[in-house]
A and B are shown apart, each in its own frame.
Chain A
Amino acid sequence: MKRLKGLLRTIGINPERLQFYNLSAAMGPRWAEICNEFTEKIIALGPSPIWLARQKKKESLKHGE
């Protein structure tokens, strides 16, 4: 995980966008909780630089047509 987070950092992606949890199949409620928490965190972080770059490319293609 440390290594992967480091790799993300090198390409300008906030390592907070990656998280690792260890859960058993019997831990449904905890899983739902984590999903909600993580979704909130990602929304708070806003769009990723990759998404922004892709949007920009789409826009320019539209204008180009």
Chain B
Amino acid sequence: MIVGEQKPLEEIWEMVKVHKQLTVFGCNTCVAVCHQGGNKEAGILASLLRMKATQEEVDIEIVDSGIERQCEHEFFESVRDLMNRSEAVLSLACGIGVQFVATKYQTLPVYPALNTTFLGDVIAVGHFTEKCQACGDCVLGLTGGVCPVSRCCKRLMNGPCGGSSNGKCEISKEIDCAWQLIVDRLEALGRLDDYEKIPPLKDWSKDRAGGPRSFKLEDM
């Protein structure tokens, strides 16, 4: 899923304080799981902004709302009226949702309340870690199901580099060495010999390097 983190309140306040009305708008799927952008968080953020506005002696009508997903048209049906009377939207969605609102409502200002941080999982309660960079050309079949693109700091395809130490990356003891994990996994699968196979050079044209990506279902 997509993981995000709320921006500092001051940064949000500086973006939105010029408006007379603001809809604080949650997105209740991915970013709700990490307790940063769901409809509940929209309610909390709206309260904070109201208190901030009161203290700063600024008049803003702050409404909180939310939908299940800000990246698909059909979910917006339930908030049609609210959107029509909003002067500005503070979206707690990931960057996709913010852009979806911007495209859908051409004259409505929209601001991001989150920094979209990564595509990740929940390895323990409240602990989210990056696992994929959507490079467009998955190599997990070669690497025992551990991704060197998102999990090796140098995204080495034939690692580990010389900085791997006690299973950790040279840049931080908090980061597992992806290639240690790959080697351990290949060994567990009885496939350690596969390490010496040299894969073809990575085709980064399928990554963001090739420009914005899209695809269409053929039968639609």
Direct contact of A and B (CB under 8 A): yes
Chain A positions near chain B (C-beta within 8 angstroms): 7, 10-13, 49-50, 53-54, 56-57
A57–B10 CA distance with the chains assembled, in angstroms: 23
A50 touches B9 (CB 8 A): no
B57 touches A7 (CB 8 A): no
Q: With a CB–CB cut-off of 8 A, which chain A residues contact B40?
A: none
A50 touches B48 (CB 8 A): no
B48 touches A10 (CB 8 A): yes
- Shortest CB distance A3–B (Å): 9
A50 touches B10 (CB 8 A): no
The 8 closest A-B pairs by CB, nearest first: A10-B9, A53-B54, A53-B55, A11-B52, A11-B51, A49-B55, A50-B54, A50-B51
Number of interface residues of B (CB under 8 A): 10
Q: With a CB–CB cut-off of 8 A, which chain A residues contact B54?
A: 50, 53-54, 57
Query: Could you list 13 further interchain pairs (A-B, Cβ under 8 angstroms) beyond the known A56-B57, A57-B54?
Result: A7-B9, A7-B48, A10-B8, A10-B10, A10-B48, A11-B52, A12-B55, A49-B55, A50-B51, A50-B54, A50-B55, A54-B54, A57-B57
Verify if B44 is at the interface (C-beta below 8 Å from A): yes
Q: Which of B8, B9, B48, B57 contacts A53 (CB 8 A)?
A: B57
Provided the pairs A53-B57, A57-B57 are in contact, do residues A13 and B51 lie with their beta carbons within 8 angstroms? Answer: yes
A11 touches B57 (CB 8 A): no
- Shortest CB distance B40–A (Å): 12
Mask: chain B, 47-80; 1 = CB below 8 Å from A; 0 = not: 0100110110100000000000000000000000
Chain A minimum-CB-distance residue to B59: A57
